[in-house]
Amino acid sequence: MPTIQVLPNTSTSSGANWTYSNLPPALAHTNSLPSNTPRAPRAKRTNNTENSAARQRQINSRILDLERDNYRDAVIVVGKGGVAGRSSSRNKSQNVRRILASQKTFANHLADEEALHPTPAVVHRQRVEEEDAMDLDGVLREGLANTQDLGQPLGYAASASRPSARPKRVFCEICGYWGKYKCQKCSARYCGLQCGGIHSETKCNKFYA
Amino acid sequence: MPSTTLVVDNGSYTIKAGFAAGKTCITIPNCIARTRDKRVLIGHQLENCRDFGSAVFRRPVEKGYLVNWEAEKEIWDRTFLDSESKLKCDPRNTTLLLTEAPNAPSTLQTNCDQMVFEEYEFSAYYRCIGPTLIPWNNTSTLYSPENPPSFSPPAEAIMVVDSGFSHTHITPIINGQLWNAAVRRIDVGGKFLTNYLKEMVSTRTWNMMEETYLINQVKESVCYISTNFNEDLEKCHGMKKAANDIVVDFVLPDYNSGKGGYRRPHVPKKQPAFGSNDEQVMELSDERFSVPELLFAPQDIGLAQAGVAETIMQSLEGVPERYRSLLLANIVVVGGNANIAGFLERLEMELRPLASAESVVRIAKPDNPVTYTWKGGVALAGDKAEMKKRQVTRAEYMEYGSVWCAKKMAGEISSVPGTGSTGVVEKENRSHRKKRVED
């Protein structure tokens, strides 16, 4: 392991309650504060943006955007005009009327389902955790899998694929090449000087948010 | 006695439907569209439309599950009840075989049963999970198309990768039944890819944010899955465009003259001669492979899920060990995304190092991956005895109610309830009593 030591880049010396610096007065207080201040170093704070809650929100909203049907919300009202041969004069049953009038989206149904039958997902997760914790050899594990047999459906949430073991690759958001550099202000990625320029002129969140 | 069987694979992008006897599958867009001249087009009417500029869509099937019956009814009415439709049928004399996605919320399943029996009044009905129909096809011919085996027993275990419009499902099917504990889903589908391409193109060249339909066309005609992503990416950014064989042009459609868009080899941009050449061209290079790359690397845009190959391995963890090699040797890829060039090669390339060394990795794609599930449905409908065992007739539904009906289709009950019927069934019956009197 190489050891990393921070070397002072300006000649400062400090006593108990005072510091002496050769920097110009305007900058003197920035560099010469004793290192045991409770405040976190500036560099550390900016580096965190990649995994911050704000960044995660940004990613989530982007994923939601990618799942949309239309760029703008559009309401298409279906006409009342009937189809030849459709038996529309017949009285609809109560169920049919309820289903047709329902404006629930899939998200609503999913929330209902989770509230009504929370067991499958939870049980499955517990079972997996138990199994992992026990660290069984192959034969026993197979025995356990057999007891589940076909089993109940897992439910929507539990059947989602688990996160990938591979690292995330980063791409330039302007041209699609590898995103070697990160914007200091909004942590977007770019590949070089040219794309960085385009980014800060047109897309940088901190400017045009 | 119902004479005809209607097989319907109700996807989120298209409905694949046809009569079991006819053996022709008709594909109908499962959406309602409004064009910019404010016309509303429903289902098959979309095929007659030339101008999809700025069209907006409403889809009754959301994330693969049939949610909005108000819209779906409009489409079904025009498809199955309209006298001019090729699929016109009399529901009272027809058996319906309908597919659904795995892990559907039970309310949606009940809604579906109620609509089928109470609104359309099909005489009998079987709702099943789409991929379970795949083993009904003769899958062994997929692996050796030159000399198909003379005798082919139904495959014992098949791993179906169903990559559709709204998501990709990994579904192991063992002895014809879905292995529920091992079903996995990736939230990347055709729509996701189209929107990603749209976003990418809009940042770089033309603003296409409103042109979902067009970009879908572009995606279908130019996108491919790279087997060597890094090299292709270097090629697109390090080389001159003339020397790069990845770059293609897509000539944008001209709605005024009614010309459709098409793909052509890249032509370096020349000085536009005034008035002579007014075509608009979209150049595509790394977009061609970085878009479908999301199927194999969803983590790249921050989605906390694994790609197709890794998810197959995750799914195998939920399957007993003795079936794992069998499933790996019998992978079938269906759904619209299977048509993207290079899908099979890439999947094999990624799966081979993940799978254990002694197991064989064998992946196949049917000639038409979109209608393959439907074909399986036709094969099932042809087996009258099996179909009879699985279906629920309208009389049974009216007698025992929707809870029993759902249980039977999930395979939990095999016969009609005996004398000691449960309280639930009794309660369900009450709501249908009035109906029975009418009949």
Residue ranges of chain B assigned to CATH 3.90.640.10: 190-292
Check if A136 contacts B (Cβ < 8 Å): no
Give A127-145 as a 3 state SS string: HHHHHHHHCCCHHHHHHHH
Percent of chain B past pLDDT 90, that is, above it, reads 38
In a domain, A31, yes or no: no
Those residues with Cβ within 8 angstroms of residue B47's Cβ, 6 or more apart along the chain or in another chain = B29
- Please compute the mean of the pLDDT values over residues B134-138 and round it to a whole number: 86
Q: What DSSP assignment string belongs to A66-90?
A: HT-SSSS----PPP----TT---SS
Backbone angles phi, psi at B14, to 5 degrees: -135, 155
Asked which of A78-87, A184-193, B28-37, B429-438 is least confident by mean pLDDT, the reply is: B429-438
Q: pLDDT band for position B2 (50/70/90)?
A: low
Pick one of 1.10.530.10, 3.30.70.1380, 3.90.640.10, 1.20.140.10 as the CATH number of B190-292.
3.90.640.10
Return the biggest CA–CA distance within chain B.
86
pLDDT the model gives residue A3: 67
Q: Residue B247's closest CA among B219, B289, B278?
A: B289
**Tally of domains in chain A:** 2
Nearest-CA residue of chain B relative to A191? B237
Task: Tell me which residues of chain B, numbers 316 to 345, contact chain A at a CB-CB cutoff of 8 Å.
Answer: 318-322
Q: Let me know if domain B151-187+309-365 sits in CATH 3.40.630.10.
A: no
pLDDT value, residue A113: 83
Range(s) within chain B of domains with CATH label 3.30.420.40: 4-133+374-390, 151-187+309-365
pLDDT for residue B312: 94
Best mutation target, A164, A168, A177, A189, to test chain B (most B CBs within 10 A): A164
pLDDT tens, residue by residue, B321-362: 888 999 999 999 999 999 999 999 999 999 999 998 888 999
Total-model pTM: 0.82
- Which residues span the domain enclosing A123? 107-155
Q: Residue B374: pLDDT above 90?
A: yes
pLDDT tens by residue, B145-179: 676 666 666 678 899 999 999 999 999 998 888 88
Strand duo B4-10 + B94-100: pairing: parallel
Residue A72, domain member (yes or no): no
Helices (H), B25-117: 69-76, 106-114
Q: What parts of chain A have a pLDDT lower than 70?
A: 1-3, 5-51, 79-90, 118-151, 205-209
Please report whether residue A80 resides in a domain.
no
Q: For position B426, what pLDDT does the model report?
A: 43
From the list A88, A86, A102, A94, the residue with the least C-alpha distance to B76 is A86
ipTM: 0.79
Q: Which residue has the tokens 């194999």?
A: B296
Q: CB-hemisphere CA count at 13 Å for B313?
A: 21
Is residue B407 within 8 angstroms of chain A, CB to CB?
no
Residues A174 and A140 in one domain: no
Please list the alpha-helical segments (H only) found in B302-422. 308-317, 321-328, 343-354, 372-382, 384-390, 394-409
Higher-confidence position of B406 and B185: B185
Instruction: Tell me the per-residue pLDDT of B193-251, one tens digit each, with 9 for 90 and over.
Output: 999 999 999 988 888 888 899 999 999 999 999 999 998 888 888 766 667 788 888 88
Is the CB of residue B86 less than 8 Å away from at least one CB of chain A?
no
pLDDT at A69: 86
Pair B404, B413: CB distance under 8 Å: yes
A198 lies in some domain: yes
pLDDT digits (tens, 9 = 90+) for B216-227: 999 999 999 999
Distance of alpha carbon A193 from alpha carbon A191, whole angstroms: 7
Which of A83, A86, A124, A147 to substitute to test the interface with B, most B CBs within 10 Å?
Answer: A83
> Touching check for B71 and chain A: CB below 8 Å?
yes
Sort residue B114 into left (φ over 0), alpha (ψ -120 to 50) or beta. alpha
Which structure tokens are listed for A33? 């504060």
C-alpha to C-alpha distance for B64 and B213, rounded to whole angstroms: 19
Q: DSSP letter string over B139-158? A: THHHH-SSS--SS-PPPSEE
| DSSP-derived 3-state class of residue B41 | strand
Residue A118 maps to a domain: yes
- The overall average pLDDT reported for chain B is 85
Query: What is the structure's pLDDT at B261?
Result: 84
Lowest model confidence (mean pLDDT) among B52-56, B75-79, B297-301, B391-395: B52-56
Whether residue B414 lies within 8 A of chain A, CB to CB, comes out as no
Q: Per the domain annotation, does A36 fall within a domain? A: no
- Confidence category of residue B43, pLDDT binned at 50, 70, 90: confident
How far is the alpha carbon of A54 from chain B, nearest alpha carbon, in Å?
13
Strands (E), B30-74: 32-34, 40-42, 56-58, 61-62, 65-66
Answer whether A146 sits within 8 Å of B320, measured CB to CB.
Answer: yes
* CA–CA dist B27, B307 (Å, integer): 29
pLDDT of residue A79: 65
Asked if residue A21 belongs to a domain, the reply is no
A178 contacts on B by Cβ (under 8 Å): 233
Q: Which of B111, B236, B237 sits opposite A99 (nearest CB)?
A: B111
A145 in the same domain as A182: no
What is residue B169's predicted lDDT score, i.e. its pLDDT? Answer: 94
> What's the CA gap between B236 and B215, in Å, rounded?
21
The Cα–Cα gap between B88 and A85 comes to 9
Residue B100 has a pLDDT of: 92
Contact B300 A102 (CB under 8 A): no
Closest chain B C-alpha to A195 CA, distance in angstroms: 11
Contacts of A169 in chain B (CB under 8 A): 297, 300
Taking Cα atoms as reference points, which of B168, B70, B179, B77 lies closest to residue B135? Answer: B179
Nearest CB to B71 within list A78, A112, A163 = A78
Q: How far is C-alpha A62 from the chain's CA centre?
A: 9
- Is B69 within 8 Å of A99 when comparing Cβ atoms? yes
> What whole-number distance in Å separates Cα of residue B335 and Cα of residue B169?
10
Q: Does domain B4-133+374-390 have CATH number 3.90.1150.200?
A: no
Closest CA to B116 of B25, B8, B18, B29: B8
Average pLDDT on B352-373 reads: 91
Query: Reduced to 3 states, what is the DSSP secondary structure of residue B112?
Result: helix
Q: Is residue A189 one of the residues assigned to a domain?
A: yes
For residues B294 and B1, the model is more confident at: B294
